[in-house]
Structure 1
Amino acid sequence: MAHTFEELVEKQRAAQAARARVQEMRDSLGAPAHEPWTEFQTDTYETAWRAWRDLARDAQAALNEYAKDEDLDRAEVEADVQRAAGGTSGPTAP
């Protein structure tokens, strides 16, 4: 499936939003080693974490495909996508 640069940016933003949700949950719940989470909290956190992981994986796969199809340097494409998505540099995968 061919991807456009705009689609890559959308995928990156979705992964960033999912990551922010996971971090928000972790910040509000605290580390499970300090105060045990309820089963509901654990399930909710794990679901959010899996969503982040899946979105980040899909974004990376699309980025790889785009760079290959366009014969571009993958690292440069990733940096451009990160800038356009308004995120920080570095890996998005969990």
Structure 2
Amino acid sequence: MADIELTDELISLERDAWAEIQRGELTVETAQAVQDAITAHAAATGQNRYDVEKTLKQAVRNPQ
């Protein structure tokens, strides 16, 4: 898999979603915003959407 560059916007959106998930308060709007941003980023960079999402979740949820 090629290196996937994540934007500050993607990271911010995923952090917001992860915080909502941890509080048990994830909204449809937040989840949709993350998915829309992932899809747009993948299309703009020619990357696989699932790879972008996986990389993003790893960066936010397991930032070792």
TM-score range, shorter chain: 0.7 to 0.9
Who is 2:3 aligned against? none
Instruction: Give the percent of matched residue pairs that are identical in Structure 1 and Structure 2.
Output: 25
Distance 1:12 1:78 in 2: 9
Q: 1:60 deviation in Å?
A: 0.5
The residue number in structure 1 matching 2:44 is 69
TM-score (norm 1): 0.54
Q: CA RMSD in A?
A: 1.6
- The code of the aligned residue for 2:52 comes to V
Higher-Rg member (1/2): 1
CA contact (8 A) 2:18 2:61 kept: no
TM-score by length of 2: 0.76
Q: Which amino acid aligns with 1:78?
A: E
Separation in 2, partners of 1:19, 1:9: 15
Provide, for residues 34-72 of structure 1, a one-character-per-residue CA deviation record: whole Å limited to 9, x for no partner: xxxxxxxxxxxxxx45xx221111000000000001111
> Partners in 1 of 2:30 and 2:54 — Cα distance?
18
CA distance in structure 1 between the aligned counterparts of 2:60 and 2:9, rounded to whole angstroms: 11
Task: Give the gaps of 5 or more residues in structure 1.
Answer: 23-47, 88-94
Q: Which residue number corresponds to residue 53 of structure 2?
A: 78
